[in-house]
Amino acid sequence: MPRTWQKPPADSYQELLLKAIPSEVIGLYLTIQSVIPVKDRPAAIMWVMMGLCTAVTPFFLWKGGVKSDPATPAAKAGVVVTQYLITTLAVPVWLMGIPGSAWWTIDGWQPWFGGLAVILYAGLLAPSIGFLATRLAD
């Protein structure tokens, strides 16, 4: 399965959803988070880690093969840019649901905030935008 969003029926809703999850970057964040003990973890470090992980997401996408098709650069470039934006913005949203992430340093933060954000963004918004982007690419 290519990493770049494809026009349906080549990509189903599930495939659009999976391609919008920045799994490599979430794994990177979890690895870094596990190295720093919770009691020694200043809030500023957590926010910097989240910012860095968000910033490197386009690199991971590019290395993973999310590139425009040279045969039809005009049609595919918009889809690729959209996928880069949606997946990069997904990093802070996914981190909302991870206990101990930077979001949890906000006074009054509730665990369900992150869960709801992940469901709405990753389950509805990201695949819907992917579907529209691939349909409008023609």
The model's pLDDT over 2-12, given as tens digits with 9 standing for 90+, comes to 667 666 666 67
Can you state the angle between helices 43-63 and 23-35, rounded to 10 degrees?
Answer: 150
Please report whether residue 4 resides in a domain.
Answer: no
9 prior amide bond cis, ω within 30:
yes
Q: Is residue 6 part of a domain?
A: no
Contact 96, 118 (CB under 8 A): yes
Q: What is the pLDDT of residues 17-58, one digit of tens each?
A: 777 788 889 999 999 888 887 777 888 989 999 999 999 999
pTM of the predicted model as reported, rounded to 2 decimal places: 0.81
Determine the structural domain holding residue 39 and report its residue range: 13-136
Q: How far apart are CA 134 and CA 75, in angstroms?
A: 9
Instruction: Compute the distance between CA of residue 62 and CA of residue 117 in angstroms, rounded to an integer.
Output: 26
Distance CA 17, CA 102 (A): 24
Residue 5 lies in a domain: no
d(CA 97, CA 132): 26
Inter-CA distances, 68 with 4, 6, 82, 104, Å: 8, 11, 11, 37
How many distinct structural domains can be found in the chain?
1
Residue 123 falls within a domain, yes or no?
A: yes
Q: Which of 2-16, 73-87, 95-109 has the least mean pLDDT?
A: 2-16
Q: Is residue 26 part of a domain?
A: yes
Is position 108 within any domain?
A: yes
Contact 117, 100 (CB under 8 A): no
